[in-house]
Chain A
Amino acid sequence: MTNAQANTTTARASRLRVCVIGTGKVSDEHLRFVSASPRTTLEAVCDLSPSLASYARDMWKARASYTDYREMLGAVKPDVVHVVTPPHTHAMLVRDCLMAGAHVLCEKPITPTLAEYETLHALAAERGVRLMENHNYRFNGPTLELERLVGAGEIGDVTEVEVRMVLPIRGGGRYADVNLPHPSHRMPAGVLHEFISHLGYLALRFAPGPVDCWARWANLGGGTLFRFDDLDSGYRTASGACARIRFACNQAPDCFTLTLRGTKGMAHADLFQPHVLVNKQRKGGAQLSPLVNQWVAGKVLRRASVQNFRNKVMQRTPYEGLGTMLGLVYDALATGGPAPVSSEDTRAVLGLIDRLVALQGAAPSATRAGGAA
């Protein structure tokens, strides 16, 4: 029996011993949760930079810091490891953590391809531990509100989903740095691989089972650093619903939105400036519904402007969903219940990404990939 199994099955009331590998910017929200949760103790952090590892240790009151993750795994024998490093390092780190008998929560994309994930998943099953990918935006307030609306039938059956992300990744910053090219440029979708998981799992949440994919990958900014900086893609499902997945870097303003169109109405969620607008049949009937929808939208936007200003001052970020997800992850570990992001969820996203990546370089007339997911 592994350390993780022992702690989660025989002493469920006790705190799980957690390590975090990678102490860069993304680690902040993981460390905030682990250091504050009554279910966990932050045993150690690890980073190649000793100074950065020490900073994280001191900031989040971990018991130790390491620069060698293998040494940390051997010394601490953690129940759970969060892998929060750049994507190209995930496979090796996750494998070694699983071998050390720890449950693993890994940042997205957990692996570049579905085939690599299957290898890790088999290893996790063999070791009797859980392997989970971070799908944090699924647990943001606006996404959960869309789930509620769909579940309550307020917009009818979903027939169309659009997930859109606009980020100025070529306008400076780590992805545009020609002096130290970001390792994600070497991923199958280039740096877009950093974002495509988010787009994919949100689309699949509301339009599962893609059967017919299309994709147009482009490098609109040119040059050799970026392989792609623009993606216009989508798929149809067996039920006839369609989804569009869009990433752009040459538009304004920055955004991350999710729009659902259904047989009875539409709902639009903004994940960067959180709010949800709903356009549906109201009590006033067909004549008054457009007016009521506009009045309600105005009210929602006014309230969101205040709330989002407050979020900015209070340093609440769009990563808010991560805390919710991690709460569910540790509930699942404590109770043995289902994980908030299942292996099937991860398979579906990686399968979709594989299919979109396979369409790279295809001529416009041949940018479709059929067949069941």
Chain B
Amino acid sequence: MSQHLLNLLVTGGTGFLGKPTVEAALARGHRVRLVVRPGADAAQYASWTERGVTLARVDLRTRAGLTEALAGIDCVLHLAASKAGDMYAQYGGTVISTENLLWAMEQAGVARIVNISSFAVYDYAGMRSGSTLTERSPLAATIPPRDEYSHTKLVQEQLVQAATTQRGMRSVNIRPGVIYGADNWWTARLGASHSAKRWVRIGWRAMLPVTYVGNCAEAIVLGAERTTTLAAGTMLTVNLLDEEVRQGVYAREVQRRLPSKPKNTVIPWTVMRLVAWGAMTFNKVALGGRAKLPAVLVPARLHARFKPLRYSNAAARKELGYSPRLSLAEALDATFAAPASRKHTG
């Protein structure tokens, strides 16, 4: 049981990472208020409300009701974000939501937040192959955006940083790596596509910064507890991964647990890198740079997914006291214990 029992507001608490985060918060004795959409069916949260979780029916894309939802809250766990749609949809779900949340936190006098960001914020193309990505590694440029997700997560971080500095808030900014778990074991860092019969993979030696969803959730709650000991005006940023594992090893371990092993077509990283460079050059020279190409043919995006780098969770261990509960093998066993995970679609 934790020493600091907190009243937590959890945004995005109904999603893939949000659900285990609520569970982890309850397990450590915290009280949880869960943000749900106004049209949500309360019955689906019955198992939580029976354990004291309260519901705040608000939509973060508007300020209506947000200040009231924050009454009595010690710390916000901000997981809500958009991962799909065009730039404007992701602005609405990620950036404007965060603007509204930070505004309401100021109104309600709530000064602590755990912001869930992403490894997508880093500038992979500017890093040397084989170097170690740390919290101090260069961030991607916001203009022009590399892609919608990385751009909006960067802007989200900037908003939290600005509010932290200006208002003397205490913030923990967590950048999780590849989060895997039940029904969500595939990662775009493995390759271009996958089906029951065939995986088209890109590279096999690069490291994946993986974190099991349950482990990640526990780290987020540790982040909330860490806000109580931070100095005012401080934003602590940590990369979160359980361990680094080679693409080939992760793919083999996943395929071993599938009901039938798919065939693998593996394109070497160096070859793909050259193809993407060629596509970019053709686009620039012949098409004026206006063509929209698949992500694997855009060097900055290709590097973000497949570049061979090293990763470390030293900061998370040191600053949050993080120690992943489940190992890769245990976490994959837990992942594939869920029937949905065995459908080749994760």
Report B-chain residues with C-beta under 8 Å of the C-beta of A312: 292
Q: State whether the Cβ of B38 lies closer than 8 Å to any Cβ in chain A.
A: yes
Contacts of B143 on A, CB cut-off 8 Å?
Answer: 55, 58-59
The listed residue (A25, A51, A59, A315) touching B96 by CB distance below 8 A is A51
Instruction: Find out whether the CB atom of A49 lies under 8 angstroms from the CB atom of B287.
Output: no
For B99, the chain A residues whose CB sits under 8 A away are 49-51
In the complex, chain A residues whose CB is within 8 Å of the CB of B96: 49, 51-52
Within 8 A of B (CB), among A89-138: none
| Contact bitstring B51-65, A, C-beta under 8 A = 1, else 0 | 000000001011000
* Bound CA span A312–B61, Å: 30
| Contact A52:B91 (CB < 8 A) given known A179-B37, A179-B39, A180-B59 | yes
Output the nearest chain A residue to B36 by Cβ-Cβ distance: A179
State whether the Cβ of B159 lies closer than 8 Å to any Cβ in chain A.
yes
A51 and B159 form a contact (CB under 8 A): yes
Cβ B291 vs Cβ A315 within 8 A: yes
Query: Which residue of chain B lies nearest to A315 when distances are taken between CB atoms in the complex?
Result: B292
Q: Does B24 contact A (CB under 8 A)?
A: no
Considering the chains assembled together, what is the distance between the CA atoms of A50 and B37 in angstroms?
Answer: 24
**Chain A neighbourhood of B37, CB < 8 A:** 179
B95 beta carbon closer than 8 Å to chain A: yes
Complex Cα distance A313/B290, Å? 8
Q: Does A24 contact B (CB under 8 A)?
A: yes
Contact A313–B61 (Cβ < 8 Å): no
* Complex interface: chain B residues within 8 A of A180 (CB): 59, 61-62
Contact of B290 among A49, A59, A314 (CB under 8 A): A314
* Residue A178 at the chain B interface, CB threshold 8 Å: yes
Asked if B39 contacts A178 (CB within 8 A), the reply is yes
Q: Which residue of A lies closest to B57 (CB)?
A: A179
In the bound assembly, the distance between CA atoms of A125 and B186 in angstroms comes to: 62
Interface code A12-25, partner B: CB below 8 Å = 1, 0 otherwise?
A: 00000000000011
Is B86 an interface residue when CB atoms closer than 8 A count as contact? Answer: yes
Q: How far is the CA of A59 from the CA of B145 in the complex (A)?
A: 9
B142 pairs with A49, CB closer than 8 A? no
Q: Is A58 touching B142 in the complex (CB atoms < 8 A)?
A: yes
Assuming the contacts A59-B144, A180-B61, asked whether A49 and B91 have C-beta atoms less than 8 A apart, the reply is yes
Q: Quick check: B59 and A51 within 8 Å, CB to CB?
A: no
Number of A-B residue pairs at CB separation under 8 A? 48
Interface size of B in residues (CB-CB distance below 8 Å): 23
User: Are A313 and B86 closer than 8 Å at their CB atoms?
Assistant: no
Q: Which among A52, A178, A313 is the interface contact of B95 at CB below 8 angstroms? A: A52
Do B91 and A55 have beta carbons less than 8 Å apart? yes
Query: By the criterion CB–CB under 8 Å, are B38 and A179 in contact?
Result: yes
Q: Are B291 and A55 within 8 A (Cβ)?
A: no
Give a binary string over A30-57; 1 marks a CB under 8 Å from any B CB, 0 the rest: 0000000000000000000111100100
Partner of A51 from the list B144, B155, B292 (CB cut-off 8 Å) is B155
Q: Which residues of B contact A51 (CB under 8 A)?
A: 91, 95-96, 99, 155, 159
Q: How far is the CA of A182 from the CA of B109 in the complex (A)?
A: 30
Q: Enumerate chain A residues within 8 angstroms of B293, measured Cβ to Cβ.
A: 313
CA distance A180 to B39 in the complex (A): 9
Tell me the chain B residues, 28-66 only, with Cβ under 8 Å from chain A. Answer: 37-39, 59, 61-62
Given contacts A50-B99, A52-B96, contact A24 B287 (CB under 8 A): no
Which among B38, B59, B287 is the interface contact of A314 at CB below 8 angstroms? Answer: B287
Residues of B within 8 A of A (CB): 37-39, 59, 61-62, 86-88, 91, 95-96, 99, 142-144, 155, 159, 287, 290-293
Could you show 28 A-B contacts with beta carbons less than 8 Å apart? A25-B86, A25-B88, A49-B91, A49-B95, A50-B99, A51-B91, A51-B95, A51-B96, A51-B99, A51-B155, A52-B88, A52-B91, A52-B96, A55-B91, A55-B143, A55-B155, A58-B142, A59-B143, A178-B38, A178-B39, A179-B38, A179-B39, A179-B59, A180-B59, A313-B291, A314-B292, A315-B290, A315-B291
Interface residues of A (CB under 8 A from B): 24-25, 49-52, 55, 58-59, 178-180, 312-315
Interface contacts beyond A58-B142, A313-B292: sample of 7 additional A-B pairs, CB < 8 Å, sorted by A:
A24-B88, A49-B91, A52-B95, A179-B39, A180-B62, A313-B291, A315-B290
Give me the 8 closest cross-chain CB pairs, A-B, nearest first.
A179-B37, A178-B39, A25-B88, A58-B143, A179-B59, A51-B95, A180-B59, A313-B291
